[in-house]
């Protein structure tokens, strides 16, 4: 019973801010709503005992990407520039297509027979860390190097040249 209540609260914490992300007229407010929605997704991962995905969701998405997005929004101009029109001439077609997809997904889920298999959650973070820093060390370091080069490139291209 308590699991169902927590699930409904986390689902609401994910879906309501996600709706506000696409309906907010201010880009900064949309970014803040996205932080809350991604936090709800992290809570759902925690509820599923996916400890590694929970930590990655919080650190990478909520922490890193959202801080980067907020810096971009804050450095992009005056707050009056952040307001944008949210609806265009294709919004009705998008709404009809979304309704069609929702109906199709609901039909598939309704017809899907699922049998629950209860098992104790097994922590995976230790095994993934061992794999990442033993067998997959070289690809991990290559990705780190690519990210470092892209960061240096971003700084290089963002510096204004004096005339």
Q: Tell me: the pLDDT tens digits for 106-140?
A: 999 888 887 777 777 777 788 888 888 899 999 98
Query: Given this model, what pLDDT does residue 123 score?
Result: 78
- How many other C-beta atoms can be found within 10 angstroms of the C-beta atom of residue 121? 9
- How many other C-beta atoms can be found within 10 angstroms of the C-beta atom of residue 15? 12
From CA 91, how far away is CA 35, in angstroms rounded? 25
From CA 8, how far away is CA 3, in angstroms rounded? 9
Query: Contact 18/31 with Cβ under 8 angstroms?
Result: no
Query: Given this model, what pLDDT does residue 38 score?
Result: 93
For the ranges 87-96, 140-149, 154-163, the one whose mean pLDDT is highest:
140-149
Tokens at 53, concatenated = 């995905």
Closest by Cα among 75, 46, 85 to 62: 46
**Annotated domain spans of the chain:** 1-85, 122-163
CATH dotted code for 1-85: 1.20.120.1200
pTM score: 0.66
């Amino acid at each position: 019973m308590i699991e169902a209540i927590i699930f409904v609260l986390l689902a609401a914490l994910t879906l309501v801010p996600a709706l506000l992300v696409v309906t907010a007229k201010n880009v900064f407010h949309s970014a803040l709503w996205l932080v809350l929605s991604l936090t709800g997704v992290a809570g759902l991962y925690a509820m599923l005992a996916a400890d590694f995905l929970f930590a990655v969701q919080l650190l990478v998405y909520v922490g890193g990407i959202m801080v980067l997005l907020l810096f971009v929004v804050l450095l992009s101009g005056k707050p009056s520039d952040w307001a944008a029109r949210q609806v265009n001439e294709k919004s009705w077609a998008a709404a009809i297509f979304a309704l069609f997809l929702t109906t199709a997904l609901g039909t598939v889920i309704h017809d899907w027979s699922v049998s629950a298999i209860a098992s104790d959650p097994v922590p995976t973070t230790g095994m993934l860390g061992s794999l990442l820093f033993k067998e997959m060390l070289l690809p991990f370091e290559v990705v780190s190097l690519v990210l470092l080069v892209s960061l240096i490139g971003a700084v290089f291209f963002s510096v204004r040249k004096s005339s």
